[in-house]
Copies of this chain bind each other. A is one copy, B any other.
Amino acid sequence: MAQEGIPIIISAPSGAGKTTICQALAQRLPDLNFSVSHTTRKPRENEKEGVDYHFVSKETFLEMTNRNKFLEWAKIHDNYYGTGLKNIEDTLKKGKDLVLELDIQGVESLRALKYEGVYVFILPPSLEELEQRLTRRGTESGDQIQRRLEVGKNEIAQSHLYDYAVTNVNVDESVDTILAIIHAEKNRIRRYQPDCPEIRKILESGPA
């Protein structure tokens, strides 16, 4: 049996560069799959069904929660967001790695479930830089930016929930680090399955 794929959970404070990093990661590792979340919120301009999100009605979403179709889900403001189980399991069983972009709330849920994965937290180089990046976006007011910064600080304080931290000074270097993490984790003793059946058998049977 081939080694199962690894779920790679990535979070970051808003403005730390998660989206850019994930896009660069997809380019550098075309085999990598990205989980597409379900949401009940309306698509923003440029957002595509099945790419950015699966956009569903509230009724569909709640029916899915009733039928345990989500690995985790949450209500944020007035909208529901969830990570569908089926796609994840299908992908991992094929031996393909899968990136899940989640917020802290999602990570807390997965940790509570003792969900086995590699948890990566992206840090900004500094709070000043984080503020500048949020300002540069130009999509929010000063108040909203200050609120995001406060939320960001609280998220950074929760980074003990993660296995790895990556400071995003430079996107290429951050992607290098995440690729190294994925490479290393494939060789973690607890999930490592050598190709040679004889050696695999000795590994699995343990000490005589």
Contacts and interface: CB of A to CB of B under 8 A. Distances in A.
A198 B194 CA distance: 43
A194 B177 CA distance: 14
Given A125-B196, A157-B205, A164 B180 contact: no
A124 B199 contact: yes
B187 A166 contact: yes
- Give the dominant DSSP class at A's interface: mixed
B187 A164 contact: yes
Contact of A183 (B121, B184, B194): B184
A121 to B, nearest CB: 7
Interface residues of A, number: 42
Given A127-B198, A196-B126, A207 B157 contact: yes
B165 A189 contact: yes
Contact of A160 (B156, B195, B206): B206
Contacts of A189: 121, 159-160, 162-165
Contacts of A124: 199
Contact of A203 (B157, B198, B202): B157
A181 interface: yes
A208 B177 contact: no
B153 A202 contact: yes
Given A160-B189, A181-B187, A207-B158, A195 B125 contact: yes
27 contacts: A125-B195, A126-B198, A127-B199, A154-B207, A154-B208, A156-B199, A156-B202, A157-B205, A157-B208, A159-B203, A163-B188, A164-B184, A164-B187, A164-B188, A165-B192, A165-B194, A166-B187, A167-B194, A167-B196, A167-B199, A176-B183, A179-B180, A180-B180, A181-B184, A181-B187, A183-B184, A184-B184
